[in-house]
């Protein structure tokens, strides 16, 4: 992805959250230049836990087809005892028609919510022992704390205000219909480097082509602004 495109996607995300009257934490609005001038010692949790912006196309080279813009608001660490917070929270903006590829988490349990905009559609399958889609086993999930049994791969349609709880080893793919969606994740600690198993093995973070200066520093590149 080009840096100019990432800059624009984060600008769009800030505008979209404003349009839904959602204000993000202070560090969402710190530009790359301002990070360089900031009291970095006081922000060490943001750097260490890789909180903040994340724009990915999962290696597809077509962000609007397969990708998402995320913002991690809070997280803990599975390895660093200084950060024993056992939960995480993320914003994920999904464009109309944009798909997040099938993946499951080995450890993380997560609630995926629709906080506003269009409809959030999710398809789920249990993972088999050899990490394929289990096309036979029924998918019993809690939608807004109501137990519902879905067929494997049946579309679960979440309107604004609704959410579904996804246990570990549940493959899920989601997309937006009838408008861009402000989706939200409330979960156990999130470890994007080790706990995402993609069905088709796509990369979690994208290669970046530096065609213009960085406006927003992504969560996996704070080393570019740290003193
Ligand atoms: Fe997930």
The pLDDT tens digits of the residues spanning 99-139 come to 999 999 999 999 999 999 999 999 999 999 999 999 999 99
CA of 103 to the centre of ligand 1 (A): 6
The pLDDT tens digits of the residues spanning 130-185 come to 999 999 999 999 999 999 999 999 999 999 999 999 999 999 999 999 999 999 99
Mean pLDDT of the chain: 96
How many residues appear in the chain? 227
CA of 102 to the centre of ligand 1 (A): 8
CA of 45 to the centre of ligand 1 (A): 23
Q: Which helix (H) or strand (E) holds 125?
A: strand 110-127
Q: Cα 57 from chain centroid?
A: 12
Ordered DSSP codes for 47-103: HHHT-EEEEE-TT-S-TTTB-EEEEEEE---SS-TT----EEEEEEEE-BT-EEEEE
CA-closest candidate to residue 67, choices 191, 209, 205, 190 = 205
CA of 174 to the centre of ligand 1 (A): 9
The pLDDT tens digits of the residues spanning 6-58 come to 999 999 999 999 999 999 999 999 999 999 999 999 999 999 999 999 999 98
CA of 61 to the centre of ligand 1 (A): 21
CA of 30 to the centre of ligand 1 (A): 27
CA of 23 to the centre of ligand 1 (A): 24
Residue 201 in this model has a pLDDT that exceeds 90: no
pTM here? 0.95
DSSP structural state of residue 109:
-
CA of 47 to the centre of ligand 1 (A): 22
CA of 166 to the centre of ligand 1 (A): 8
Q: Which helix (H) or strand (E) holds 37?
A: helix 32-37
Cα atoms in the 13 Å half-sphere on the side-chain side of 47: 16
CA of 172 to the centre of ligand 1 (A): 7
CA of 112 to the centre of ligand 1 (A): 8
Burial class (CB in 10 A: 0-12, 13-18, 19+), 69: buried
C-alpha 221/C-alpha 34 separation (Å) is 15
């Amino acid at each position: 992805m080009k840096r100019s495109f990432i800059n624009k996607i984060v600008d769009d995300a800030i505008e979209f959250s404003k349009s839904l009257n959602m204000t993000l934490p202070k560090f969402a609005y710190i530009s790359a230049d301002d990070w360089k001038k900031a009291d970095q010692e006081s922000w060490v949790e943001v750097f260490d836990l890789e909180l903040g912006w994340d724009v990915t196309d999962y290696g597809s080279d077509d962000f609007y087809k397969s990708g998402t813009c995320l913002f991690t608001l809070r997280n803990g660490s599975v390895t660093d005892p200084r950060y024993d917070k056992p939960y995480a929270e993320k914003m994920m903006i999904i464009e109309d028609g944009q798909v997040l590829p099938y993946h499951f988490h080995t450890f993380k349990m997560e609630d995926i919510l629709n906080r506003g905009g269009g409809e959030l559609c999710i398809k789920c399958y249990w993972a088999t022992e050899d990490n394929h889609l289990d096309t036979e086993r029924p998918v019993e999930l809690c939608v807004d704390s109501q137990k519902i049994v879905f067929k494997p791969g049946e579309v679960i349609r979440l309107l604004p205000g609704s959410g579904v709880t996804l246990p570990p080893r549940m493959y899920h793919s989601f997309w937006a219909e009838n408008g861009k969606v402000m989706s939200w994740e409330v979960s156990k600690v999130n470890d994007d480097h080790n706990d995402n198993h993609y069905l088709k093995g796509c990369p979690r973070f994208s290669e970046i082509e530096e065609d213009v200066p960085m406006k927003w520093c992504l969560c996996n590149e704070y080393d570019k602004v740290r003193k």
